Structure 1
Amino acid sequence: MLKWALIFFVISLIAGFFGFSGVSAATATIARVLFALALIIFVIFLVLAFMAGQAVL
């Protein structure tokens, strides 16, 4: 998911450079949402890993 966020971010930068502000804004929003989802999933898995580690001990 981070890979796709980075791809959309690069597309946003390129579109902004060439003056396509609508495309740039849309892809920046998509990149932001994907990054937030990846961060939330990472935190959930991190908490689950700590809980599993506590259960083993």
Structure 2
Amino acid sequence: MLGWVVTFLVIALIAGILGFGGIAGASVEIAKIIFFVAVILFLVSAVVGLARGRRI
């Protein structure tokens, strides 16, 4: 999922350099959304893992 974030950031950088401001802005927003979704999923899985604990 973080690979998608990097992809959209690269697209935003290239679009920004070439002068496509709308595409660059949209790509940055998409990258932000995907990043925060990835962080939330990581935190949820960490909390669930800690709640379950290790059972021997």
TM-score bin (small chain): over 0.9
Aligned to 2:26: 26
Does 1:9 pair with 2:9? Answer: yes
What 5-or-longer segments of structure 1 have no aligned partner? none
Letter in 2 for 1:12: A
Q: Taking structure 2 as the reference length, what is the TM-score of the superposition? A: 0.92
Structure 2 residues without counterparts, runs of 5 or longer: none
Aligned-residue RMSD, C-alpha: 1.3
Where does structure 1 differ by over 2 angstroms across 4 or more consecutive aligned residues? none
Kindly, what percent of the aligned residue pairs are identical? Answer: 39
Say how many residue pairs are matched: 56
